[in-house]
Amino acid sequence: MSLRLAPLRFDGRVAIVTGAGNGLGRQHALALASRGATVVINDLGGARDGSGGSLSAAQQVVAEIVANGGTAMANGASVTDEKAVDAMVADTLTAYGRVDILINNAGILRDKSFAKMSVDEFRAVIDVHLMGAMICSKAVWDTMRTRNYGRIVMTTSSSGLYGNFGQSNYGAAKMAVVGLMQTLSIEGAKNGIHVNCLAPTATTRMTDDILPGAIQDHFKAEYVTPAAVFLASDKAPTRCILTAGAGTFASANVTLTSGLHLGFDSETPEKIASHFAEITARAGEVVPKSGAEQGGNELSKRGVTR
């Protein structure tokens, strides 16, 4: 007979989940509420490309949480609107006195091949995914620092980590939030703010015409949500890229190979070409704790200690 695991609870915690009117955000919000969290359901209520807006989807999730005995409120701020986001956080603090958790989940898609994509279509996706995550994180940062506690979850994607045809805008934005996470996790460490990325594979309104129909049932949004619950919890690590889909969980990492010191002379480009296999050999690669480790590795290969 196996022992029952101690549940991850959120009693007394207050969470803001963006893009929580549908799909992954809705599942994350419902799960947090079912485990005791008070949840702010943020959703602009726009179409998949970001057009339009309505508070009805967010209100429906609030109603579902309240019907199940939880506490929640709806908010229709666009994550790209700094003043509206600041007001959302201020309203949350007025109503509940704290913000412990932020899940940056809001997103849009404007997929096209790079040749056919306009600059505006590229910028719109960057604005929602990257700038939206930054604006929301900035809005809660000071209150989390004051309380010496915070959990911020960025939503990245395999399209950002590894690429995907027709998603140069989305992929660039999703890799950018990894960079944001890397630095915020370092800067937030002294104040107990843990910042991580979640890379989901899920059938949602965003992906229902991307994933083949035969496998969609394996990638239900609720299969991803346990990872979000973990990353929002007291047990969360920091500076992790956690992948989740079909009930499978893994970590993705930005690594650094050992490298090769080749010096600098007129033939160094040719040396790189001839030794490229050695330079990129993955035996002994590491996951640096900060960007400074790259420079440290380069100096050590040169024979310089510091």
Name the residue among 150, 162, 232, 237 with its Cα closest to residue 199: 162
What is the pLDDT tens value at each position of the chain, 306 positions in all?
568 999 999 999 999 999 999 999 999 999 999 999 999 999 998 665 556 568 999 999 999 999 999 999 999 999 999 999 999 999 999 999 999 999 999 999 999 999 999 999 999 999 999 999 999 999 999 999 999 999 999 999 999 999 999 999 999 999 999 999 999 999 999 999 999 999 999 986 555 555 566 677 788 999 999 999 999 999 999 999 999 999 999 999 999 999 999 999 999 999 999 999 999 999 999 999 999 999 999 999 999 986
Output Rg (C-alpha) for the chain, integer angstroms: 21
Closest-CA residue to 127 (of 101, 106, 103, 153) = 106
Residues classed as catalytic = 170
* Rounded Cα–Cα distance for residues 141 and 265 (Å): 47
